[in-house]
Amino acid sequence: MSEDDLAKDLGPLAALTIGVGTMIGAGIFVLPRQAITEAGSFAVVSFLLGGGIALLTALSASELGTAMPRSGGAYYYVNHALGPLFGSIAGWANWLGLAFASAFYMFGFGQYIGNIVGMPDAFVFGPVVVSSVKLVALAGAALFVAVNYVGAKETGRLQNVIVVLLVAILAVFTTFGALNAETANLPASKGFGPMLTTTGIIFVSYLGFVQITSVAEEIKDPGRNLPRAVIGSVLLVTVIYAFVLVAMSAAVDPGFIASLGDDQIAVVEVAALLMGPIGAAALLFGGLLATASSANASILASSRINFAMGRDNIVTPSLNEIHPRFSTPYRSIAVTGLLILAFIAAGTVEALATMGSVLHLIIYGLLNVALIVMREADPADYDPDFEVPLYPFTPILGMLTSFALIAFISETIIALSVALVAGAVLWYFLYARSRTGKQGILGQYVLSRADEMPDAAVSAASGVQPDGGDYRVVVPLANPETEKDLISLGAAAAKANGGRVVALHIVQVPDQTSLAYARDHLEQFTDAAESEQLLTDAKADAEDFGVPVETHTVLSHRSFEEVFDAAESHDADVLVMGWGEDSHGSPGRAESAVDEVAGDLPYDVLVMKDRGFDPSRVVLPTAGGPDTDLGAAVARYLRDQFGSEVTLLHVADDPDEGEAFLEEWAAARDLEDAETRVETGDVEAAIAAAAEDATMLVVGATERGLLRRLVTGSLVLDVVDKVDCSVVLAEKERSKSVLERLFG
Amino acid sequence: MGDLLERVVLPVASEGDARDTCEAVLPYVADAGGEVVAVHVVEKAGGAIDKAGVEQREEYAADVFAVVTDACDDAGVPCETEVVFATDIADGVFDAARDHDASAVAFTPRESSRWLDLLTGDDTRNLVKRADRPVLAFPAGDEPGDDDDDDEDGADPTASAVAADDPPTVEDDDDE
- DSSP states along A471-482: -EEEEEE--HHH
Asked if A398 and A504 sit in the same domain, the reply is no
CB contact under 8 A, B47 and A9: yes
- Least Cα separation, residue B16 to chain A (angstroms): 8
C-alpha dihedral sign at A544, A545, A548, A554:
negative
Q: Which residues span the domain enclosing B44?
A: 2-137
> Are A88 and A206 contained in the same domain?
yes
Chain B's closest residue to A715, CA to CA, is B74
* Residue A11 near chain B (CB below 8 Å): yes
For residues A201-206, average pLDDT = 88
Question: In chain A, what residues touch B172 (CB-CB under 8 Å)?
Answer: 517
Residue A441 lies inside a defined structural domain of this protein? no
Residue of A nearest to B15 (CA): A324
Q: Confidence class of residue A597 from pLDDT cuts 50, 70 and 90? A: very low
Stretch 462-481 of chain A: residues touching chain B, C-beta under 8 Å: none
- Rounded to the nearest 5°, which phi and psi values hold at A87? -60, -40
Q: Report the CATH number at residue A548.
A: 3.40.50.620
Shared domain check, A697 and A730: yes
**What residues in B contact A321, CB-CB < 8 Å?**
150
What is the pLDDT confidence band of residue A588, given thresholds at 50, 70 and 90? Answer: very low
Q: Can you spell out the DSSP letters for A687-700?
A: HHHHHHT-SEEEEE
Residue B91 lies in a domain: yes
- Long-range own/partner contacts, residues B164-169 (CB < 8 A, 24 or more apart): B166/A519, B166/A520, B168/A520, B169/A516, B169/A520
Question: Does one domain contain both A424 and A474?
Answer: no
Residues of chain A positioned with their CB less than 8 A from the CB of B86: 6
Banded pLDDT at B116 (limits 50, 70, 90): confident
Asked if B150 has any chain A CB less than 8 Å from its own CB, the reply is yes
What span, in angstroms and rounded, lies between the C-alpha atoms of A322 and A336? Answer: 15
A245 within a domain of the structure (yes/no): yes
Would A744 be classed as within a structural domain? no
How large is the average pLDDT for residues A257-271? 82
Interface membership of A527 toward B (CB under 8 Å): no
Which residue of A lies nearest to B68 if distances are taken between CA atoms?
Answer: A599
Residues of chain B in contact with residue A11, where contact means CB-CB under 8 angstroms, are 47
Q: Which residues of A touch B15 (CB under 8 A)?
A: 324, 599
In a domain? residue B94: yes
Q: Distance (Å) from the C-alpha of residue A554 to the closest C-alpha of chain B? A: 5
Q: Which of A71, A164, A218 to mutate to test the interface with B (most CBs of B within 10 A)?
A: A218
Amino acid at A347: G
Does residue A376 have a pLDDT over 60? yes
Decide if B61 is inside a domain: yes
ipTM score above 0.85: no
Is residue A592 pLDDT above 60, yes or no? no
The answer to whether B70 contacts A705, with C-beta atoms less than 8 Å apart, is yes
Domain count, chain B: 1
Position B98 in a domain: yes
Of chain A, the percentage scoring pLDDT greater than 70 comes to: 87
Mean pLDDT computed over every residue of chain A: 82
Residue ending a domain, choose from A532, A557, A585: A585
**Dist CA A463 CA A478 (whole Å):** 39
pLDDT tens across A72-95, in order?
A: 889 999 999 998 999 999 999 999
Whether B13 sits inside 8 A of A736 (CB atoms) is no
Q: B173 CA to chain A: closest CA distance, Å?
A: 7
Asked whether residue A516 is assigned to any structural domain, the reply reads yes
- Going by pLDDT thresholds of 50, 70 and 90, the confidence category of residue A304 is very high
Q: How confident is the model at residue B166 (pLDDT cuts 50, 70, 90)?
A: very low
Q: Exposure of A5 by Cβ count < 10 A (0-12 exposed, 13-18 middle, 19+ buried)?
A: exposed
Within 36-55 of B, beta carbons closer than 8 Å to A belong to: 42-55
Residue A333 within a domain: yes
Tell whether B110 is within 8 A of chain A (Cβ). yes
Confidence tier at B160 by pLDDT (50, 70, 90):
very low
User: Quick one: A367 and A232 in the same domain?
Assistant: yes
Check CB contact of B116 with chain A, cutoff 8 Å. yes
Same domain, A270 and A202: yes
In a domain, B30, yes or no: yes
Inter-chain touch B85–A6, beta carbons under 8 Å: yes
CB contact under 8 A, B53 and A150: no
Residue of B nearest to A13 (CA): B47
Angle, vertex CA A321, rays to CA A556 and CA A290, nearest 5: 155
Say whether residue B147 is in contact with chain A using an 8 A CB cutoff: yes
How close B168 comes to chain A (CA, Å)? Answer: 7
Q: Does residue B145 carry a pLDDT above 50?
A: no
Q: How many domains does chain A contain in total?
A: 3
**What's A187's domain CATH number?**
1.20.1740.10
Task: Please name the member of B46, B153, B170 whose beta carbon is closest to the beta carbon of A517.
Answer: B170
Q: How far is A248 from chain B (nearest CA, A)?
A: 33
Q: Which residues of A touch B56 (CB under 8 A)?
A: 71, 304, 307, 320, 322, 329
Three-class SS state of A637: helix
Residue A716 predicted with pLDDT over 80: no
- Is A517 within 8 Å of B51 when comparing Cβ atoms? no
pLDDT at A526: 67
Query: Half-sphere exposure (CA, 13 Å, Cβ side) for B112?
Result: 19
The shortest CB-CB distance from B56 to any of A320, A557, A600 is to A320
* A232 and A117 inside one domain: yes
Q: Which of A4-18, A175-189, A360-374, B77-91 has the highest mean pLDDT?
A: A360-374
Cα radius of gyration rounded to whole Å, chain A: 32
Residue A439: inside a domain: no
Is there a contact between A156 and B45 if contact means CB atoms under 8 Å apart?
yes
Same domain? A571 vs A629: no
Which pLDDT score, from 0 to 100, does residue A697 have? Answer: 86
- Domain stop point among A558, A585, A612: A585
Residue B103 domain-assigned (yes or no): yes
The whole-number average pLDDT for the span B129-143 is: 82
Flag if B43 and A557 touch (Cβ within 8 Å).
no
Whole-angstrom Cα distance, residue B67 to residue A600? 8
- Which of A218, A555, A738 is closest, CB to CB, to B53? A218
The domain in which residue A84 lies consists of 3-432
Contacts of A213 (CB under 8 A, 6+ apart): A61, A64, A65, A73, A74, A77, A226, A230
DSSP A729: E
| A696 close to A726: Cβ distance less than 8 angstroms | yes
Measuring CA to CA, how many Å separate A360 from each of A21, A235, A356, A373, A410? 17, 18, 6, 20, 15
Determine contact: A733 vs chain B, CB below 8 A: no
Model confidence band, residue B173 (pLDDT cutoffs 50, 70, 90):
very low
Q: Does A598 fall in a domain? A: no
How close, in Å, is residue B20 to chain A by CA atoms?
13
Output B94 or A691, whichever has higher pLDDT. B94
Report how far residue A196's alpha carbon sits from residue A408's, in angstroms, rounded to the nearest whole number: 6
- Least confident range from A13-27, A450-464, B45-59: namely A450-464
Q: Is A617 on the interface with B (CB under 8 A)?
A: no
On whether residue A443 sits in a domain, the answer given is no
Choose the weakest-confidence range: A107-111, A628-632, B95-99, B158-162: B158-162
Average pLDDT of the residues in A169-173? 89
Tell me: do A61 and A153 sit in the same domain: yes
User: Which of B17, B41, B54, B56 to probe by mutation at the A interface, max A CB count within 10 Å?
Assistant: B56
Q: Backbone phi, then psi, for B56, in 5-degree steps?
A: -65, -40
Q: What is the mean pLDDT of residues A479-500?
A: 82
Is the Cβ pair B49, A8 closer than 8 Å? no
* pLDDT greater at residue A246 or residue A335: A335
Which residues 328-347 of A have a C-beta within 8 angstroms of B? 328-329
Does residue B142 sit within a domain?
no
Establish if A611 touches chain B: CB-CB under 8 angstroms: no
Omega before A392 within 30 of 0, i.e. cis: yes
A554 and A609 housed in the same domain: no
Interface test with B, best of A9, A509, A569, A710 (most B CBs within 10 A): A9
Both A75 and A42 in a single domain? yes
Which residues on chain A are in Cβ contact (under 8 Å) with B45?
9, 153, 156-157
Closest CB to A327 among B51, B169, B170? B51
Higher pLDDT, A519 or B91: B91
Decide which of A534, A551, A585 is a domain's last residue.
A585
Nearest to A156 among B13, B49, B60 (CB): B49
A624 and A580 co-located in one domain: no
Inter-chain residue contact A734 with B171, CB threshold 8 Å: no
Report the CATH number that the domain containing residue B64 is assigned in CATH: 3.40.50.620
